Structure 1
Amino acid sequence: MGEIPEGWEVTPISDFGKVVCGKTPSKQKPELYGGYGPFIKIPDMHGNMLATKTSDHLSAVEPAFQSKKAIPNGSVW
């Protein structure tokens, strides 16, 4: 992990809020993909503390499909 700055501590991410996981929408359904918003996957986090990019973006159809898995607007800045 590397050096921890003075005054910081290592804590599980679950201490900061609810961790929401879901299922990746089927790539066999192209209508679920295409630009609505970023879809962050575990591989997007490999080697990173923050996900700053992803290769997949969902269409407007997909959020309704997984409405309970979406992060509310304003949750991440």
Structure 2
Amino acid sequence: MPVIQVRPSRNPRWQQKGGWEVFEAEGVCPVWCGENARQNALDYAQQRMGYGRCDIQVLDESWNVVEMITNEDLKPVV
């Protein structure tokens, strides 16, 4: 099953801006910056999850998985 990762950016350019990235596949990794960056990245990943079966892994600063979100965890969009 495909996995989308929501994780703090390791790119120095985005780290200094508090960047969070959503890694879907090689070359597909949008970045959000600012005080709401983590939540914005998570919202985007959940929206992308709606297009097919996949899981979301939320990683911490050390890139350890701290949360798993599956399709079953999300409420249906009405």
What is the TM-score of this pair, normalised by structure 1? Answer: 0.22
Rg (Cα) greater in structure: 1
Structure showing the higher strand proportion among its residues: 2
